Structure 1
Amino acid sequence: MMLALHAAFRRDLGHLARAAEGLTRRPERRAAVVRGWVAFRDELHHHHTVEDTSLWPAVRRRTSACADAEVLEAMEWEHGIVDPLVEVVDASLSAPAGAGPLDGSDLAAAVDELHQQLSHHLRHEEQDALPLALRVLTAEDWHASSATARKTKGLRTIPDFLPWLTDGRTAEESASTLALFPGPLLALNGRFFEPRYRRQDRWL
């Protein structure tokens, strides 16, 4: 699930970079860009919140090694860099055209910085933090963190979350990710959630 989320974030970072470069030429696409951005922003915020409040504290309780503590501190520090960048971009994209704090090349520069910092963070998490979590956490720890994620996300977000998570993935990759969810939910996704998601206009 963590890797599937990271893949979705990388996909949307690509969409965002293209949107930042193209919005000045295609301002009529702003609403579609905002729709894609809001989904990315909300999922990233939820992901970081679950990590900071549930996953990384559980890892910290299971280890006392200095090197492990440094990895966890780096994760929190990197969140502290990424999250303000998200807020800056959000303030510009959420405002009416020309009314945000950034526009044109300034917005493109802010998006580029977000792209670089978040991409670095995702790589660092995959290389160091996730292997650490897999090494020290118990099945009960993972279950508790997953329960926190489900509780804080809420059922009302699932119709958008499932198709967003697998958007752009191969059939094999999507099947592997969706296998983590109960069968009845997958039936609803195939019949209702996915078609509805496809009808919604996003990005450029």
Structure 2
Amino acid sequence: MSIDLTVMYASHDAFRRDLDRLGKAAADGTAFTPQVRAGWDNFTHQLHIHHTAEDSDLWPRVQSKVEGRPQEIALLAEMEAEHARLDPQLTAVDAALRNRSAELAELVHTLATTLDDHLAHEEASALPLIQEVLTPADWSAFTGRIRERQGMRGAAVFVPWIVDGIPPADRAAFLGALPPPVRVLNRLFWQAGYRRRGLWGT
């Protein structure tokens, strides 16, 4: 039985979308508004949870399945190194936003390129390896740890954040991968609460 990676791919797309929004805001001079700052703060929060869970729970789980396979072990080390490479770039963008720096657009471009390269590498190499070596039970244990970290309050932001502005087919695919009670909560409560936050000024 294959693992359903819908939520993983949707998360990657949401990260790309948010940095695209920040890049456009930096280019048109609207990056220093409270709404853009709130969007950036949520982006960094979601990325931190995502990468921390991968480093602490996912990659070690995969590594236990690929002992004696040096190429795959090296790939997992690359994933962690790419995460670490992002940290100073995230810090630089954060400082540029706080200081209203003229270098913001260039720093955002650098960060977006580095993150997109990492996500593309993960999608091309690490996710197929996950499909090969992990069981659905392994994957469920990993995603369960993410849900624990998010908690109900975090889920109330995460779910509508993922579907913010995405095409209807992608929205349906993502929501279809969630338990029915989560879809109901999102429709009745979470979506409206997310809209009121006005992240990125949308």
Confirm or deny a common fold (TM above 0.5): yes
The answer for the alignment partner of 1:136 in structure 2 is 133
Provide the rounded CA distance (Å) in 1 between the counterparts of 2:188 and 2:147.
22
Deviation at 1:36, TM superposition (A): 0.9
The answer for the alignment partner of 1:201 in structure 2 is 198
Post-superposition Cα deviations, 1:111-161, rounded to whole Å, max 9, x if no partner, equal 111011001001000000110111011222111101111111111111111
Residues 1:109 and 2:112 are matched in the alignment: no
TM-score by length of 2: 0.90
Deviation at 1:69, TM superposition (A): 1.0
Report percent identity of matched pairs.
Answer: 40
Provide the rounded CA distance (Å) in 2 between the counterparts of 1:198 and 1:155.
18
The answer for the alignment partner of 1:92 in structure 2 is 96
- Asked if 1 retains the 8 angstrom alpha-carbon contact of 2:75 and 2:126, the reply is yes
Deviation at 1:180, TM superposition (A): 2.2
Determine helix, strand or coil for the equivalent of 1:168: coil
Runs of 4+ displaced beyond 3 Å: none
The answer for the alignment partner of 1:15 in structure 2 is 21
Provide the rounded CA distance (Å) in 1 between the counterparts of 2:137 and 2:179.
19
Residues 1:124 and 2:121 are matched in the alignment: yes
Deviation at 1:200, TM superposition (A): 2.7
Post-superposition Cα deviations, 1:68-87, rounded to whole Å, max 9, x if no partner, equal 01111111111011122112
Provide the rounded CA distance (Å) in 2 between the counterparts of 1:152 and 1:203.
24
Residues 1:72 and 2:76 are matched in the alignment: yes
1:152-163 to 2 correspondences below 5 Å: 152-163=149-160
- Asked if 1 retains the 8 angstrom alpha-carbon contact of 2:147 and 2:155, the reply is no
Deviation at 1:47, TM superposition (A): 0.5
Structure 2 residues not aligned, in runs of 5+? 1-6
Structure 1 residues not aligned, in runs of 5+? none
TM-score by length of 1: 0.89
